Structure 1
Amino acid sequence: MKKVTVIGSGVMGHGIAQRVAQAKVPVVLFDINEESLVKAKSFIESNLTMQVNEQLLSEQEKEETLTFLELSSHLETAIQESELIIEAISEKLELKHGLYRSLEALVSQETVIASNTSTFSMKDLTEGATNPERFVVTHFFNPAQFVPLVEVVRGDQTTEHVVNETMTFMKQIGKSPILLNKDIPGFVANRLQAALVREAFYLLEEGVADARSIDLAVTDGPGFRWGFAGPLETADFGGLDIWKSVVENLAPTLSENTKVPDFIQTAIDEGNLGTKTTEGIYSYSSDIIQDRLVERDQYLMHLGKLKRST
């Protein structure tokens, strides 16, 4: 891809644009709100400075990255000559459809249109599309500038060329793309994550352990090794006969809840949404929230470097 446009400068959009720019691919970050673009540029510069401070990037590389980034609040200008357009706007289907109709009227039939959705199926996204064969899902994970995974989902009419071009480009910008064989709600990673979170909610509701202990059981237990080996490889190394017994013994006792527990709904009703409101499962101060975000990004940067070196 010689030029990319990312539409939407929110948390996901500016992270995606940063990753593309760091791969030395010209990228335009578009948003109708110019103030949002200014904030996005500031976040990107701050993220790059953090990498410089962690000695993962030189000052020269930081400045070079910024030369590949352009901001625009004019759609037609932003998408001109772009070979790939990545949509990262709000998860509202009517907004996405409106944007797609505008894009299809402005770009050539060869331009690939990708959505960062984690909610909608390809069938939903391409409803009413003039050229559905050019559409694909590229689901990045937050923070998109650091987390390698991208889930690529094709539609029934998506061409092999579009799929291959998308997979190749994701690898070009340092991502680890996976191609789904089926379009399923939540794709792969969010389904796995949701299953774990459901069980964590259940354990907390039942008083099996406190919140900190449940989190520690993941980060310093299975999660500690998941950066190296996923659950299926872990099953192979543990022995499929052993895991057969584990599943048969534990599965009947696992949560089958299809709704969140009462304590989560109560927290929401009381306006306690987590870091958004400083109260959730834990209590937070504004300083703690910022410190944790910085620690998270530092950890992810170094984990990424370690994985790339092995």
Structure 2
Amino acid sequence: MKNPQQNIPIGTVGLGLMGSSIATCLLAAGHSVTSLVKDIQQADEARTRIRGYLEQLQAEGLLTTAPEALIQRIQITDEVADLRGHEVVIESIIESVAEKKEVYRRLETVLSPTAIIGSNTSAIPVSVLQSGLQHPERVLGLHWAEPAHITRFMEVICGDATDPAYAHRLVSLAESWGKEPSLLRKDIRGFITNRIMYAMLREAFYLVENGYATVEDVDRSLRNDLGYWITFAGPFRFMDLTGIPAYLTVMNDLFPDLSNTPNTPRMMEELVAAGAKGVQNAHGFYPYTPETAHAWEEKFIAFSYDIRKLAQKYSLPPTDPAP
């Protein structure tokens, strides 16, 4: 059944790589989109990028409407007044509390008090973003994964002041966008995936920096173990599938020995200081030429489509009935 909210116009703020990917997802789901940007001179570049994403979706059989028709449904503007009347606005700018809150203050001058403001933040507590606003109850975190127009991931995050009715409305909307959203009922820095991923990254750096394994070895082990089951099961289902008691035994033995340092990895600081951005500038943990960096980017997009199809092939209801 079609979600009755699916055709409402949605506003976005920011059309960088992630913002463009979000706009693509919304267009593909049937919404018209009004995108507020800081520099209107970048509108043509953003429109070209979004059209390319739509063409990718069409080539993968995930789009039934022609990209040339959908691209007509986005308005790119530098006037906040053009967002007047929108019921949902999704902000996707840099991870700066001050800049995000300035955007919200501008939005509050044109939006109705019941319009939802969703922030694509990956770590900033939503309660911090809500503070000082006229209507903090309608502000939520809306955490997307890259590429936003392909992945099924989404976290909807409540702040201390959030009205749960707005959160449930966003969950319903996210499902109509082809997402499989998780709802965080209480605010916590980093949310679900980032808290777990950065705990894993801390241990990965610990193993490399202390000579236990190379970057390549760590990647190889995780790809061929974690990478084989995580899309299918998630950690709690995986423990159900493989026998719970053994995990308690390992936890008692291993937890005291895991890295708990509050310091950022030396290796990471040195790479960033040297200008490394990964495949974006062909300078990262691995050696790249511009050609191989581009090839890895293309492989990542192709893999994202393939893993989406595989996950859907084995998808089950998110929760089984309680006994």
TM-score by length of 2: 0.89
Offset of 1:48 from its aligned partner?
A: 2.4
- 2:47 counterpart residue number: 41
CA deviations 1:133-184 (Å, max 9, x no partner) are 1111111111111121111111222223211211110111111111112211
- 2:73 counterpart residue number: 68
Q: Are the equivalent residues in 1 in contact too, given 2:160–2:187 (CA < 8 A)? A: no
User: Is 1:194 aligned with 2:194?
Assistant: no
Aligned partner of residue 141 in structure 2, secondary structure: strand
Q: Distance in 2 between matches of 1:51 and 1:150?
A: 19
User: Is 1:16 aligned with 2:22?
Assistant: yes
Q: Distance in 2 between matches of 1:163 and 1:218?
A: 34
Q: Are the equivalent residues in 1 in contact too, given 2:21–2:147 (CA < 8 A)? A: yes
Offset of 1:86 from its aligned partner?
A: 0.4
- 1:296 counterpart residue number: 300
Letter in 1 for 2:225: G
CA deviations 1:213-261 (Å, max 9, x no partner) are 2112112211221110101111122222110012122222222222123
- 1:250 counterpart residue number: 254
- 1:90 counterpart residue number: 94
Root-mean-square deviation (CA, aligned residues, Å) is 1.8
CA deviations 1:185-214 (Å, max 9, x no partner) are 101100111011111111111222222221
- 2:317 counterpart residue number: none
- 1:5 counterpart residue number: 11
Say which of 101, 106, 117 aligns to 1:102: 106
Change in 2 beyond 3 A, CA 1:234/1:309: closer
User: Is 1:30 aligned with 2:41?
Assistant: no
User: Is 1:154 aligned with 2:164?
Assistant: no
Aligned partner of residue 81 in structure 1, secondary structure: coil
Letter in 2 for 1:31: V
Gaps of 5+ in 2: 315-323
Offset of 1:56 from its aligned partner?
A: 4.4
Q: Which moved more, 1:8-17 or 1:38-47?
A: 38-47
Offset of 1:276 from its aligned partner?
A: 4.2
Task: Among all aligned residue pairs of Structure 1 and Structure 2, give the percentage whose two residues are the same amino acid.
Answer: 28
Change in 2 beyond 3 A, CA 1:283/1:124: same
Say which of 161, 171, 175 aligns to 2:179: 175
- 1:205 counterpart residue number: 209
Q: Are the equivalent residues in 2 in contact too, given 1:140–1:151 (CA < 8 A)? A: yes
Kindly tell me the number of residue pairs found equivalent between the two proteins.
308
Q: Which moved more, 1:273-282 or 1:86-95?
A: 273-282
Q: Are the equivalent residues in 2 in contact too, given 1:10–1:36 (CA < 8 A)? A: no
Letter in 2 for 1:62: P
Q: Distance in 2 between matches of 1:306 and 1:69?
A: 31
Q: Distance in 2 between matches of 1:98 and 1:233?
A: 42
Aligned partner of residue 297 in structure 2, secondary structure: helix
Letter in 2 for 1:177: P
TM-score by length of 1: 0.93
CA deviations 1:73-103 (Å, max 9, x no partner) are 22211x1321100011111111112111111
- 1:231 counterpart residue number: 235
- 1:145 counterpart residue number: 149
Q: Distance in 2 between matches of 1:286 and 1:143?
A: 21
- 2:320 counterpart residue number: none
- 1:185 counterpart residue number: 189
Q: Are the equivalent residues in 2 in contact too, given 1:30–1:37 (CA < 8 A)? A: no
Q: Are the equivalent residues in 2 in contact too, given 1:85–1:113 (CA < 8 A)? A: yes
Gaps of 5+ in 1: none
Q: Are the equivalent residues in 1 in contact too, given 2:281–2:290 (CA < 8 A)? A: no
